[in-house]
Chains A and B, each alone.
Chain A
């Protein structure tokens, strides 16, 4: 089960909706069992720590987030962070990775301030320990820029997205998924500043590349489609806006089960 969740994370593939549902309910049962075990035998906690159960837990947290189950993701990630702080220490990379994840859960639940504090700390610490050019540091920097956009701090969001993009392009090449992600964060900052024409150009370019590299039925491609639709609408290009928004929603429903109540969460997820 953990391996499947991890696979989805790394290969950036998406499982069919029914499969996601089944997996989510298994995670729920596993979680409940663990909770009751910990409550009955508090000593089991240290066993879980030694067995590094935080590792599959981290994958489950990610999977829940990808499925739009942000509440569950928050609970799991809080637990993972606590476990890692206790067993690995505050400066450990795995602890800082858990802090990234916790920030995602907060921002997806609309807790902007907590999200910003978390992701900024993860970035600062990774920067100090690993250096500015390390992929892990860049990962947090990209997400920090996105969280700032979410909080409507577009100026700083734009500055950090540009910084992340330059470093990422040098590190991973211009067509890497992460490089494209940086550009989408930059485009969103531009749109937030109402620089719609610039944002539109960037989104169009991005959409072509993402469709080619990641395919149409992909979360990143979906976000670009949806955001391009919004930017076109803001510029009164209404026919094309409607067309793109419609396509984006179609893509979202293919990625996700149509009647799933969490479908809507896809639109606001990081």
Chain B
């Protein structure tokens, strides 16, 4: 565990260096810079640095949307990744908005039965149920 942590810390530092170089030379919206911000966001998520991961994921999303357009595969991957990150933190409303935005496009691109689309759809319906259950609970406890 400690070893993994050390490896991830080293990876984070390395990715940050690469990112600084890319932003300087290629700019913030270059496709390669966006790959680095996405990878860095994934590393931060593994390190449980959730705030930083979210920032980096949002930055990637903004860049993907600007550079590749809202329907591009990379944009959808980032969008659903961000939804997942928010969902895991119990930020259901924000996550729900992102799922609603990303799922139709992902299904259209990869097919309804693609494992990833199925997985994200299930996450989304679980989320909806959890929200509904919480709402019912609140309603029944305060008649």
Evaluate whether A250 and B77 lie within 8 angstroms (CB atoms) in the complex, with A245-B39, A264-B26, A267-B22 already known.
Answer: no
B80: nearest chain-A partner, CB-CB = A236
Let me know if B39 and A242 touch, CB within 8 A. Answer: yes
Q: How far is the CA of A264 from the CA of B115 in the complex (A)?
A: 34
Evaluate whether A236 and B39 lie within 8 angstroms (CB atoms) in the complex, with A262-B25, A264-B22, A264-B26 already known.
Answer: no
Number of A-B contacts (CB under 8 A): 69
Contact partners of B42 in chain A: CB under 8 A: 238, 242
Q: How many residues belonging to B are interface residues under a CB distance threshold of 8 Å?
A: 26
Contact with B along A227-254 (1 / 0, CB 8 A): 0011001101010001001100110110
Contact partners of A261 in chain B: CB under 8 A: 21, 24-25
Task: Select A230's contact among B11, B35, B114, B115, beta carbons within 8 Å.
Answer: B35
Q: How far is the CA of A157 from the CA of B135 in the complex (A)?
A: 57
By size class, the interface of chain A is 20 to 34
Interface of B is mostly: helix
Q: How far is the CA of A64 from the CA of B57 in the complex (A)?
A: 35
User: Is A263 interfacial (CB-CB < 8 Å)?
Assistant: yes
Closest Cβ–Cβ distance, residue A68 to chain B (whole Å): 8
Let me know if A233 and B32 touch, CB within 8 A. Answer: no
Residues of chain A having any CB pair with chain B under 8 Å: 229-230, 233-234, 236, 238, 242, 245-246, 249-250, 252-253, 258-265, 267-268
Residues of chain B having any CB pair with chain A under 8 Å: 11, 14-15, 17-18, 21-22, 24-26, 32-33, 35-36, 38-39, 42-43, 73-74, 77, 81, 110, 114-116
